[in-house]
Amino acid sequence: MELIVKPDRVKAGLLGAKIIAQVVRERADAVLGLATGSTPLSLYAELVRMHCEEGLSFKNVVTFNLDEYVGLDPSHPGSFHAVMEKHLFQHLDLRPGATHLPDGCAADIPGSCEAYERSIKAAGGIDLQLLGIGGDGHLAFNEPGSSLSSRTRIKTLTGETLRANSAPFGDLDKVPKHVITMGLGTIMEARSCLLLAFGTDKAEAIHEMAEGAVSASCPGSILQFHQKAIVLLDEEAASRLQRKQYYLDVYAGKPEWQCWE
């Protein structure tokens, strides 16, 4: 696991976009795993800028999102379909049918989850999976206690997660209590993972994820077993790291051929 600390979330987001852009430039038909929430917005904005101003093309890229609410129409502004369309998809040259999200309105949810797994495999697997982390260490919507080998499935959200995601709904009672999420086993099959975390409310989760024991109590800690996991942090999210100076030294001393900036 490589931990990179930047001065603020904007600079971290810009570096994240450079990392994704490198994947797309090296493999035009890259398969990207995407995340929602406020954390990746600066990264998405930079990818859109790169597309519009630098000609970064996504015409052969395929995407798979981590999760979606159960029972929420894709047109609802709080749905992850709508969020992704607003902030990323409509601004890029993605082909029709190239973007995939779990179907939260499926009549057969278990069957739909199995189909999602098959679609990822049929696409050749995910080249880079973008991730965030919850204040309690959840990864995607794999809440604490989730199986470390889990696959795409339905999950019940904790009260903490419901509160954290209530803003688009205006009322906590209106937040769907169930989601479909990629499992931790699914995420671990991505060839590389890129996790972003910003703010003091993520500091303890980052400490436990990177420096604590691997445990279902902190689902994000499974990334300690990933062969290529990059973690981009701002100073606040990195504030609880016991080996922060070492991570800074490692990044400052990277050989040029390993650098993105």
> Active-site residue among 127, 143, 208, 234?
143
The reply to whether 136 belongs to the active site is yes
Q: Which domains does the chain have, with CATH numbers?
A: 2-233 (3.40.50.1360)
Q: Report the pLDDT value the prediction gives residue 159, as an integer from 0 to 100.
A: 92
CA distance linking residue 92 with residue 57, whole number of Å? 8
Print pLDDT tens along the chain (261 aa). 999 999 999 999 999 999 999 999 999 999 999 999 899 999 999 999 999 999 999 999 999 999 999 999 999 999 999 999 999 999 999 999 999 999 999 999 999 999 999 999 999 999 999 999 999 999 999 999 999 999 999 999 999 899 988 988 988 999 999 999 999 999 999 999 999 999 999 999 999 999 999 999 999 999 999 999 999 999 999 999 999 999 999 999 999 999 888
Q: Report the pLDDT value the prediction gives residue 52, as an integer from 0 to 100.
A: 98
> Active-site residue among 46, 103, 127, 136?
136
The reply to whether 143 belongs to the active site is yes
The reply to whether 226 belongs to the active site is no
Q: Report the pLDDT value the prediction gives residue 168, as an integer from 0 to 100.
A: 87
DSSP E strands: which ranges in the chain?
2-6, 31-34, 62-65, 67-69, 99-100, 128-131, 153-156, 178-181, 193-197, 229-234
> Active-site residue among 67, 68, 127, 208?
67
The reply to whether 204 belongs to the active site is no
> Active-site residue among 68, 81, 103, 138?
138
